[in-house]
Amino acid sequence: MTNAQGAATPLLLLHAYLDGELDPINSLAIAQQIAADPVLGAEVEHIQALRHAVRERLPREPWRWPAGQPGSLCVRCPAIVLRRRLWIATCEP
């Protein structure tokens, strides 16, 4: 959704805005465009209604490690950090 010059279209920026992915300057610019353009305002309402419907009808399932995979990274991270610290300690003069 970019034009020939590679600039993002308002609809693409709108989605990035609603996802919280824009920097403050572009966020302010698209917010002003939404306020000025009733078509963009209607699209915001449509996207928000769609998100709400998806969240209500398709609740998130708890994530589980696939069978045979190791446990949580939170369990493994301290061991990785400790190994790295020991390796650094042995390399220092």
Most confident of 3-12, 25-34, 73-82: 25-34
* Beta-bridge partner residues of 43: none
Residue type, 64: R
DSSP H or E segment with residue 16: helix 10-18
Number of structural domains the chain divides into: 1
Range of the domain at 15: 1-63
Query: Please, which contacts does 31-39 make with residues 24 or more away whose CB atoms are closer than 8 Å?
Result: 37/10
In a domain, 68, yes or no: no
Question: Would you say residue 25 lies in a domain?
Answer: yes
Question: Residue 1 gets which letter from DSSP?
Answer: -
Span 47-72, pLDDT tens digits: 999 999 988 888 777 766 566 555 55
Residue 42 lies in a domain: yes
Q: Read off the pLDDT band of 14 (50, 70, 90).
A: very high
Residue 84 domain-assigned (yes or no) = no
Residue 2 covered by a domain: yes
pLDDT at 5: 46
Q: Is this model's pTM higher than 0.75 or not?
A: no
**First vs last Cα of the chain: how many Å apart?**
55
Most confident of 6-15, 28-37, 62-71: 28-37
